[in-house]
Structure 1
Amino acid sequence: MLIKLSMRSSCYSSLRIIQPRFFSYVADEEKGYASKSIIHPSAIVHPNAVLGEGVSIGPFCSISSSAKLGNGCQLYPGSHIFGNTDLGDNCMLMTGAVVGDDYPGCTVIGSNNIIGYHAVVGVKCQDLKYKPEDECFLEVGHNNDIREHTSIHRSSKSTDTTVVGNGNLIMGACHIAHDCKIGNNNIFANNTLLAGHVEVEDYVHTAGATVIHQFCHLGSFSFLGGGSVVSQDVPKYMMVAGDRAELRGLNLVGLTRRGFSIEEIRNLKTAYRKIFMCTDTTIGSFEERIAQVEQHEGLIHVPAVRAMLQSIRDSFAEDRRGICKYGCWNGS
């Protein structure tokens, strides 16, 4: 990081060293600091940066000219904010965290987010098709816990955006590549790796060392077993495991924990068996089994069953990868 700062020496030639003290708001072009901000004397803060009230900036931090920090943000020693970056209220950058990049585009982080030790969020993607003159974007919502050594990249093109929603727990050494779309309340265990353009809905749980192929979709309330290599879609409510990952039944534990009723789970299990574990030899094709469930009077009126069927149908659209293999069952 010292090398990176030295390469940018010309950009920082006009920066001021700020003594640690309380600041009163000054409404002019020179100062964007609000009251009660504490800045360590070794920190490098560009005079055009905009800081909210109660911001705390520790030793050896740096903040770019286009950065905006909301109220109550905390930067621990050696954390850095580059480029056009907007940080919401009460965000915390742990030691060594890097947010933003000097490439065209922007990184927008919501409120109450924690960026862990040496995490890298909002930097250039690892896509050879990306052109450095193109704008690239990252949007992160609120209340996310992004742990140590995680990397989240901006989009690969100006017409797209990498998106992370709200309330996600992204554990250590995870990777979210360019143009991914992450929903809300997901849990990614350590070393979960998402390739480009992956879409994750809500309440998805991955175990450790899970790898997701580019353009895959993970449906809400699904579970991915540890060490899984997922190369096709995982429909809503389902559980997969293995290399290559195969459907292993419904995510019964997750559904129960998230408040699904006994009746809803029973109906989902019935629909699952009819589609994937059918013993009726007169109904041969996969399409015919789905159609049978869609015409079942007792199942089709259950919202959870309809959502599961729609998730399966969507996975076979022209631009999708189909669903994971379904050759192994756990009897759920």
Structure 2
Amino acid sequence: MSTLEDECFLEVGHNNDIREHTSIHRSSKSTDRTVIGDGNLIMGACHIAHDCKIGNNNIFANNTLLAGHVEVEDYVHTAGATVIHQFCHLGSFSFLGGGSVVSHDVPKYMMVAGDRAELRGLNLVGLTRRGFSIEEIRSLKTAYRKIFICADITAASFDERLAQVEQHEGMIQVPAVRAMLQSIRDSFAEDRRGICKYRHWNGS
């Protein structure tokens, strides 16, 4: 006979479109819950495993597979046949290319693709569609270049480049830039997986 301690939970919000052959698991224990927010489009044959936390207004294309304990913020878009490793975090307004295998966090506003998925820049199309201003996008592009696309990768470590942007008086005044920087920092917390790999470009 089932007891309260045996119960596991799934919480689904409003105005979600969940298509055919999708599977969504309840939490793995009674003290947690799997959560689907509001306004999400979850296309055919997707899988959302136990204890995932899905925000609002996300689009998961066909055969997107989320392992357990994945957290997805808002306005995330995956292309088809994308696979996300357990405990990964997907930041708001990010885009995951088709067939990607994502084994680390994807920070806010960024685009990843490949096996294993690498950062491929900012999700510029998504940011424009969601109403980000030209100035916001320009500031995000400048911050991204300073962190990930430096002319001399021996000049400063990744952490030093990140700190330089955090200390830049102009860029740090832009809320979107602050949010992106915080998203990157959060990914390196003790219980997190770090961010997806990125390629060192020398500008040539």
Alignment TM-score, normalising by the size of structure 2:
0.95
CA distance in 2, matches of 1:316, 1:296: 21
CA distance in 2, matches of 1:300, 1:224: 26
Show CA shifts across 1:214-240 (max 9, x none).
000000000000000000000000000
Distance 1:215 1:138, change over 3 A: same
Show CA shifts across 1:132-153 (max 9, x none).
x622000000000000000001
CA distance in 2, matches of 1:267, 1:151: 40
Contact 1:136 1:158 in 2 (8 A): yes
1:317 lines up with 2:189 in the alignment: yes
Post-superposition shift, 1:328?
6.6
1:215 aligned residue (61, 81, 87): 87
> Secondary structure in 2 aligned to 1:209?
coil
Show CA shifts across 1:18-51 (max 9, x none).
xxxxxxxxxxxxxxxxxxxxxxxxxxxxxxxxxx
Post-superposition shift, 1:331?
8.4
Show CA shifts across 1:169-215 (max 9, x none).
00000000000000000000000000000000000000000000000
Show CA shifts across 1:76-109 (max 9, x none).
xxxxxxxxxxxxxxxxxxxxxxxxxxxxxxxxxx
Show CA shifts across 1:140-167 (max 9, x none).
0000000000000100011110000000
Contact 2:16 2:40 in 1 (8 A): yes
CA distance in 1, matches of 2:187, 2:153: 25
CA distance in 1, matches of 2:43, 2:123: 21
Match of 1:10 in 2: none
> Secondary structure in 1 aligned to 2:119?
strand
CA distance in 2, matches of 1:174, 1:281: 39
CA distance in 1, matches of 2:98, 2:37: 23
- Residue ranges of structure 1 left out of the alignment (5+ in a row): 1-132
- Residue ranges of structure 2 left out of the alignment (5+ in a row): none
Contact 1:193 1:212 in 2 (8 A): yes
Match of 2:126 in 1: 254
Post-superposition shift, 1:279?
1.6
1:275 aligned residue (115, 133, 147): 147
> Secondary structure in 2 aligned to 1:240?
strand
Post-superposition shift, 1:283?
3.5
Post-superposition shift, 1:327?
1.2
Contact 1:177 1:194 in 2 (8 A): yes
Contact 1:138 1:162 in 2 (8 A): yes
Contact 1:246 1:328 in 2 (8 A): no
Contact 2:148 2:200 in 1 (8 A): no
CA distance in 2, matches of 1:249, 1:154: 34
Distance 1:240 1:191, change over 3 A: same
> Secondary structure in 2 aligned to 1:136?
coil
Match of 2:136 in 1: 264
Of residues 226-235 and 273-282 in structure 1, the stretch that sits farther from structure 2 once superposed is: 273-282
Contact 1:248 1:330 in 2 (8 A): no
Superposed, 1:222-233 pairs within 5 Å as: 222-233=94-105
What RMSD in Å do the two structures reach over aligned CA positions?
1.8
Distance 1:313 1:234, change over 3 A: same
CA distance in 1, matches of 2:169, 2:198: 25
Percent identity of equivalent pairs: 92
CA distance in 2, matches of 1:212, 1:225: 12
Alignment TM-score, normalising by the size of structure 1:
0.59
- More contact order relative to length (CA 8 Å, sep ≥ 6): 2
Higher fraction of helix? 2
Contact 2:149 2:202 in 1 (8 A): no
CA distance in 2, matches of 1:232, 1:312: 11
Contact 2:16 2:39 in 1 (8 A): yes
Contact 1:150 1:171 in 2 (8 A): yes
